[in-house]
Amino acid sequence: MSRVSITKQVMVTGGAGFLGSHLCDRLIGDGYEVICVDNFFSTSKDNIIHLMNNPRFELYRHDITFPLYMEVDEIFNLACPASPVHYQFDPVQTVKVNVHGAINMLGLAKRTKAKILQASTSEVYGDPAHHPQTEDYWGNVNPNGPRACYDEGKRCAETLFYDYHRQHGVNIRVARLFNTYGPRMAMNDGRVVSNFVVQALRNEPLSVYGSGDQTRSFCYVEDMIDGLVRLMRAPDDLSGPVNLGNPTEITIRNLAEAIIELTGSRSTVEEHPLPQDDPVRRCPDITRATDLLDWKPTATLERGLKPTIAYFDKLLKAG
Ligand code: UDP
């Protein structure tokens, strides 16, 4: 059935999450009609409450492991708990949301001829033997460890995206998102930035896992959202996944020190056991994103941490 409306209908699965809610904000700001689909497993209505009265915003409580029938022009498939604490809570459901969820959303895209973007992850590279990670690196993933439900789930989702493209001509895009931070990260999701900021604001010791020599590269949320939107708008002949992330690598210990300094905290650093299969180094090569999308992150760690710290400070003061 065709629609009368000429405004594009964009679906965001996981739309009430940290990234999803920022993406909904951006798309509403750009003039689209947004259908936010979320089952609120690891997300919060607080992230989207400000959009609820907007006539171009619609919230649909739904678990994408079950089929969904509606008319859409574009789908951003972000649904999946992304922090180890949340995705390891119910690992079978994590696999289902990545595999059954991808099949359902790809089926929807196939029927409606919608463009569909998959939020894949740097975790497809596992504990990488190749540094920095380029898109043609196939990864080093433990297929049965505690992170496998997420890593292998996301890898299988990529497989499904490329097979639906080759077999059914679905118009796909695959972004591999590296660590991202900013306001609306969940306070209790165990991610390093949220943990450290909250600990620093409470003047508690910062929990560095292992020696803190492992590295990550942290992208501010605004930059990431801009990358996702550019990828969706990119020409249809784009082939292969695209890394999105900030290529500035930092050790976890240095991140702890930067957060202590920026919060003016009296906190110290305390070493804790390193979780199993924790990747040693992670840093994106973003040449492809820069060439194809004319995209690169602009926010420095300091520029991104300031609003993040202000966000958590407000939450803590509100009790
Ligand atoms: N990490 C840490 N302290 C914490 C939380 C995490 O030292 O309180 C470490 C963790 O072991 C990993 C890095 O910080 O090496 C990033 O962890 P996060 O869970 O944020 O992201 P991911 O491991 O998925 O990249």
Model confidence band, residue 188 (pLDDT cutoffs 50, 70, 90)? confident
**Does 150 participate in catalysis according to the annotation?**
yes
**Mean pLDDT (whole number) for 103-123:** 98
Residue 215's pLDDT is what? Answer: 95
How far, in Å, is the centroid of ligand 1 from the Cα of 91?
18
Model confidence band, residue 2 (pLDDT cutoffs 50, 70, 90)? low
Look over the chain and give the mean of its residue pLDDT values, rounded to a whole number.
96
**Mean pLDDT (whole number) for 252-268:** 98
- Residue 196 scores a pLDDT above 90: yes
How far, in Å, is the centroid of ligand 1 from the Cα of 289?
25
Residue 6's pLDDT is what? Answer: 78
**Mean pLDDT (whole number) for 129-133:** 94
In whole angstroms, what is the distance from residue 22 CA to residue 31 CA? Answer: 15
Ligand 1 binding pocket, CB closer than 6 Å = 83-84, 179, 190-192, 195, 207-209, 214, 216, 252, 275, 278
Angle at the Cα of 312 from the Cα atoms of 123 and 30, rounded to 5 degrees: 70
Residue 5's pLDDT is what? Answer: 66
Q: Worst-scoring range by mean pLDDT, 27-36, 74-83, 234-243? A: 234-243
**Mean pLDDT (whole number) for 98-116:** 98
In whole angstroms, what is the distance from residue 143 CA to residue 127 CA? Answer: 12
Distance of CA 141 to the CA centre of its chain: 19
Residue 238's pLDDT is what? Answer: 79
Catalytic residue among 150, 164, 181, 220: 150
Residue 68's pLDDT is what? Answer: 96
In whole angstroms, what is the distance from residue 270 CA to residue 208 CA? Answer: 6
Closest ligand 1 atom to residue 122 Cα is: 25
How far, in Å, is the centroid of ligand 1 from the Cα of 210?
10
Q: Which domains does the chain have, with CATH numbers?
A: 9-318 (3.40.50.720)
Helix 221-233 crosses helix 18-29 at what angle (to 10 degrees)? 60
- The pLDDT tens digits for 24-50 are 999 999 999 999 999 999 999 999 999
Closest CA to 135 of 239, 252, 223: 239
In whole angstroms, what is the distance from residue 239 CA to residue 264 CA? Answer: 46
**Mean pLDDT (whole number) for 231-247:** 93
